Chains A and B, each alone.
Chain A
Amino acid sequence: MAPRSIWNGTVTFGLVNVPIKLYTATESKTVRFSEVHAKDGAKIEHRRICSKEGKEVDYDEVVKGYEVEPDKYAVLDKDEIKAAAGDRGKVVHLQEFVDAGDIDPIFYEKTYYVGSRDDADPYRLLHEALSKTGKAGVGRFTFHDREYLIAVRALGDALALHTLRFHDEVVTADDLEIDSGSRKPSQQEVQMANKLVDTLYTEFKPRDYEDTYREAVLDLLERKARGDEIDLTEQEEPEQGDDLLAALKASV
């Protein structure tokens, strides 16, 4: 089944216009619970209550306000919030290219797949060129009235669009004020640790890592549904080793 697109627009690359559609690339598989009233198992509803009147408020009576000073709000309507989205609309201009591998993982936020539309040849061209050069095109993208910094790169046969964090949204190590201690690790300790890194080296295969906790939760739910008694065991804390070198030696 063809996936449903969530956005369609045009990516430009100079005077080359690439009509595209966007698709969701990731989905959370975390087990989601709904809230119920413990007493009768009835669904919990979240209702909007006016804090002044103590009465329920219909959604169409709700407005959005930004608190400019305590208890004073600048109320913005939908169109006014739209004014902040800028005038890019449905166009993403790629005006700069960077080595995709140079973007630190810390900047990546969310990924979408980019698919081709009607006039599909320019898509293939952009894909091949990005794939051959290992570059990512950087631009801006407006989605749900919000503008994002994005990078477009080749991923397999398709293109991927990643939203990126802005530099001031990323915490730096300097902000953390990490105490470096008084003694440097010894040469021997470094060598032992390096050995351990080599011993544990393997190729990354995403399928080697299953969400075992998700499986355990689903298993718990099945046991509960059968009416099994649930064993509430305590968890153990690991022992803290004191002698760094001895611990490293024992690990290798």
Chain B
Amino acid sequence: MARALWSGSLSFGLVNVPVQLVSAARDLDYHFNELHGKDNARIEQRRYCSEEDAEVLWEEVARSFDLDGKQVIVRDEELASVQPRKTRTIDVEAFVDLAGVDPIYFDHPYFLVPAGDSEGTLRAYRLLVEVMGRTERAALGRFVMRTKEYLGAMRVRDGALTLTTMRFHDEVRPTEPVPTGGKKPVKKALDNAIAVIEELSTDWDPESYTDCYRERLRRVIDDKRKRRKIEVPEPEKQPAPAPDLMAALERTLQNAKAGRDIRTRPDGDGDLSELSKEELDERAKEEGIRGRTKMSKKELVEALSDGD
């Protein structure tokens, strides 16, 4: 099981459930190391005192804060002294409608798992899962992890309690300064846009999306290892605004209804060069084009155009 990042108890009224916090997000990224170009040796980051120009050990490092130009140095024990009293507890303060919490507040997701296997702990955990699983509400509570206080929103997902840390209100910027466009759309345009959205609506199915970036990076690493040539794709150009918004909308709606690529233009089969390499591969596969796996994007576009 995942490593516990915090342990303490979840306090709900007078009921305390010993819990551990584990991350609900997995890091699947490819991580690179810094190397010295000359000899491919690993680069180490070491701490130096800027005054003495000598290496400093971690034990000799202190934390400093610039308070209006005055340097204030604090020790870890001093920081610990201002942590809230019940630092090992998540106190449920309130229940709120989950739909009323804007996703912009969500920061990092965790699971809360029961700590230990005592009957009392497991039963109290199960009680919370049962009760919270039946409501569309999230429980809010605060806790301190390492040297920061967090506000967490807790709810049930697949029979387990999750906790998502939340941003505080002053960490979310106001939307007012953001430029939000021009003329209010006429009714017909809006109706068409809504019809397009309805036509292209589908259930949220996270498994239908794969991380193509991760796959491409794996291929690049593989190619490099086998000393194959690495092709850098030409980025897609930004399309110019449609000259006639209403006509563009109507055509999009027709495309969506006919199950065509929604960017297909009336004067032909759409601009193939706007498609990604993956999408072109897919089409080439459908049309049974040979040697497609070795083709560049440009060659794929040409092969697909010839077929029509």
Contacts and interface: CB of A to CB of B under 8 A. Distances in A.
Contact of B172 (A25, A125, A130): A25
Contacts of B96: 201-204
A28 B159 CA distance: 32
Interface string B14-39: 11101000111111101111111111
B13 A248 contact: yes
B248 A16 contact: yes
Contact of B122 (A85, A177, A179): A179
A61 B35 CA distance: 8
Contacts, number: 587
Given A38-B61, A53-B39, A62-B43, A67 B33 contact: yes
A102 B99 CA distance: 10
B123 A183 contact: yes
Nearest to A76: B224
B239 A12 contact: yes
**In terms of DSSP, what is the predominant structure of the interface of chain A?**
mixed
Interface residues of B, number: 189
7 contacts: A19-B238, A36-B61, A45-B48, A86-B277, A87-B297, A121-B245, A202-B96
Top-4 shortest CB links A-B: A251-B13, A14-B252, A89-B235, A181-B122
Contacts of A237: 88
Contact of A91 (B51, B64, B127, B238): B238
A10 B238 contact: yes
B235 A87 contact: yes
A121 to B, nearest CB: 4
A74 B221 contact: yes
Nearest to B2: A171
Interface in B251-301: 251-253, 255-256, 262-263, 265, 274, 276-277, 297
Chain A CB within 10 Å, residue with most, of B27, B62, B71, B93 = B62
A108 B86 contact: no
Contacts of B43: 48-51, 57, 62
Interface string A57-90: 1000111111110000111100111111111111
Given A10-B239, A203-B100, A250-B14, A167 B209 contact: yes
Nearest to B196: A14
A189 to B, nearest CB: 6
Contact of A19 (B40, B212, B236, B241): B241
Interface in A184-203: 184-185, 189-190, 193-194, 196-198, 200-203
A178 B86 contact: no
A44 B175 contact: no
Contact of A113 (B88, B126, B178): B178
A132 B126 CA distance: 39
A193 B144 contact: no
B119 interface: yes
A125 B213 contact: no
Given A125-B190, A176-B111, A235-B85, A87 B22 contact: no
Chain A CB within 10 Å, residue with most, of B22, B139, B200 = B200
Contacts of B73: 36, 38, 41, 224
B173 A25 contact: yes
B194 interface: yes
A31 B65 contact: yes
B131 A42 contact: no
A65 to B, nearest CB: 4
B185 A89 contact: no
A216 interface: yes
B198 interface: yes
Contacts of B85: 235-236
B306 interface: no
Contacts of B169: 206-207, 209
B304 interface: no
Given A47-B48, A156-B175, A173-B159, A17 B82 contact: no
B5 interface: no
Contacts of A63: 34-37, 40
A135 B195 CA distance: 12
A242 B202 CA distance: 48
Interface string B185-222: 10001100110111011111011011111001101110
Chain A CB within 10 Å, residue with most, of B50, B74, B100, B224 = B224
Contact of A95 (B26, B126, B200): B200
B135 interface: yes
Nearest to A197: B95
